[in-house]
Chains A and B, each alone.
Chain A
């Protein structure tokens, strides 16, 4: 007792984490008799109040909210200094019953201080609403600390809490809690430090507590201890602490062991491991086998939905909007110069206008991607993919950048920044362009039905799967040759599943739609005009154009691939933006096709084997210009960028040759409709 008046006054220190209702309890206890100031020399607010109970004056000191007592913050320092130096008669610790683990950690620190503690379990109603059934009397028996359930916001239990605190303050000798112990491996080290401190620790400190804090690496206590000890004793302690820097894990580990034991005893429901909805779903979603099957099913569903919903809408837009508009423009421009009519009808509308019809395909696809993220599934997918990614020399962290590649390869390449190791980052960057982006998927969705009708969906899915197989194969090869990838494990706290918010999905779809429209109205339009001009001039028809001359120079390669010069040019223009492949086809095949449009023209002029070859090359072809620029930026090296581009070029050409020559050998699809 530090003050003469203490015979008639009991000092209660109110401790607890922030946001556990400590201030509510303080207000209920002290009412209007509060005094607010600052702790001496600190900027932390000090609140005190008094009340009278059974003719005894009770002074309540509201300690700053803190998660521990380890001098990590001003609040923690103030709280522990008051308990040590202010010597309250009792500490009342307010805990959040709905999140008891964190509160109990603070209790483990309080229990090793020389002061009796009462535990107030606040928010019992919230815990109950969350299905947590706490048994305060069982917890009390396990802790051997008085435990009082509270609902402070309804003033329930506060009077009982005060009674328990006053009882303990009057009979502190009855307080003998079950304290956490340091885990076994470092008990001997703790004992040695304590022995070296021995009787040299001045009050109010205790050797046991100081020794623990030293093992925890508490610099403030270390500075104090150095002043208390002779040089040789401190040097020995210092050497011990340096040799056992991991002892902190056994100090904190012992506390967590204790917390686990207490909670197992007192938390009746949900039983540890009891299944919540998230648990139930995760039993499948993160299971090594079922999780992978689910992921494949989700992928199939996303692509299936994109094709089944998006493609008919795209066809409708083409037939109902673009083609009639083109006819109307031709009619309206009948008196204009021939080149102007051709530019607008064939170049602008037949090229860039056709690309605009991809919009429904992209909307459905982006909505599906956003839906997966919104529900919380993408994080699970990354976790499940970790084992598989390991085979490629990557890990689950590479999965999400690669997954984003389905939308656009640019964020996929940029997302590789998150990979710590340079080899893992490079590998992710090199593999990202092999993920079929939405632009390539739209080209696929547009062209496959032209040639494969009822088989369109399986053929398109086969192309997507083939892309991913090539990605895996390239990953395995690079991992075992150039990169020798390392596997950095991660630990993930998965978010709860939730219902997707329509606004978030709309925002994502809107932003991507806008980006696509900008691209269609800018880059794609400009290149469509250039391709049209090169195909129109010098003016004796397409077959004698500049473009035809250039395309025919590639004829030897074209014959291997089964592609005529127009398809080769379309493939090359896809370097600017993948959608340009269709814009170019629209100009080179669609011009003068009348109402039938590009689809009929392609079906009539291109054999299915050539179409397969073209699609194989397009899906695997060198990344678009934007992706190449980002690859250069992220690798910081033209060498690696060109290496990535060359790999893809070789793979694309080999795949197309293989497909076409395979069709020739099998005699499949060599004649067009």
Chain B
């Protein structure tokens, strides 16, 4: 299911959690949890969108309306390797 999520999330550009939840027929909360697992395992990495640091440490915080309430993940090289392997048929026999 996690690999399917990874494939769905990257099949046509970017994706958002609610749409992925509908596609997988699970709750958005579960998709977020699965994304956290993929992150914990190194297949995804959290990334900023518009910022690369917490607001408190940002010199532009006064002049910036961003609050970064969204969470954003991007595929890591490990995640990309997995998708490439799975596209070429993943070997699962012992």
Contact = CB atoms under 8 A, between A and B. Distances in A.
B92 A244 contact: yes
Nearest to A279: B18
Centre residue among B14, B71, B75, B92 by max chain A CB count within 10 A: B14
Interface string A230-263: 0000000000100110101110111011011001
Contacts of B66: 373, 378, 400, 404
Best-buried of B21, B24, B35, B60 by chain A (most CB within 10 Å): B60
Contacts of B43: 249
Interface of A: 99, 101-102, 105, 183, 185-186, 188-189, 191-192, 240, 243-244, 246, 248-250, 252-254, 256-257, 259-260, 263-264, 267, 272-273, 279, 282, 286, 366, 369-370, 372-374, 376, 378-379, 382-383, 386-387, 390, 395-397, 399-401, 403-404, 407-408, 410-411, 414-415, 417-418, 420, 487-495, 504, 507-508, 511-512, 515
Contact of B93 (A188, A264, A379): A188
A489 B75 contact: yes
A407 B60 CA distance: 12
* Residues of A contacting B: mostly: helix
B14 A494 contact: no
A102 to B, nearest CB: 6
B21 A397 contact: no
A494 B75 contact: no
A101 B13 contact: no
Given A249-B3, A491-B20, A260 B30 contact: yes
A191 B93 CA distance: 11
A487 B13 contact: yes
B13 A489 contact: yes
A254 B1 contact: yes
The 9 closest A-B pairs by CB, nearest first: A400-B50, A495-B69, A511-B62, A373-B65, A253-B1, A192-B94, A185-B92, A253-B2, A379-B70
A418 B49 contact: yes
A418 B92 contact: no
A139 B4 CA distance: 26
Contact of B29 (A99, A250, A420): A99
B35 A491 contact: yes
B16 A286 contact: yes
26 contacts: A185-B92, A189-B94, A254-B1, A256-B37, A257-B1, A260-B25, A263-B27, A272-B26, A282-B16, A286-B19, A372-B65, A373-B67, A378-B50, A379-B49, A383-B14, A397-B72, A400-B49, A415-B50, A420-B74, A489-B9, A489-B75, A490-B74, A492-B15, A493-B71, A495-B69, A511-B63
A261 to B, nearest CB: 9
Among A191, A370, A378, A390, max chain B CB count under 10 A is at A378
Interface of B: 1-4, 9-10, 13-22, 24-30, 32-35, 37-38, 41, 43-44, 47-52, 60, 62-67, 69-75, 82, 85, 90-94
B70 to A, nearest CB: 4
A369 B65 CA distance: 7
Contacts of B30: 101, 256, 259-260, 263
Given A253-B4, A401-B50, A491-B15, 8 more contacts: A189-B92, A246-B85, A253-B1, A253-B3, A267-B27, A374-B67, A407-B63, A489-B9
Contacts of A99: 29
Interface centre among B2, B21, B82 (most CB of A within 10 A): B2
B20 to A, nearest CB: 7
Contact of B44 (A279, A387, A491): A491
Contacts of B28: 493
Contacts of A420: 47, 74
Contacts of B71: 492-493
Contacts of B18: 279, 282, 286, 494
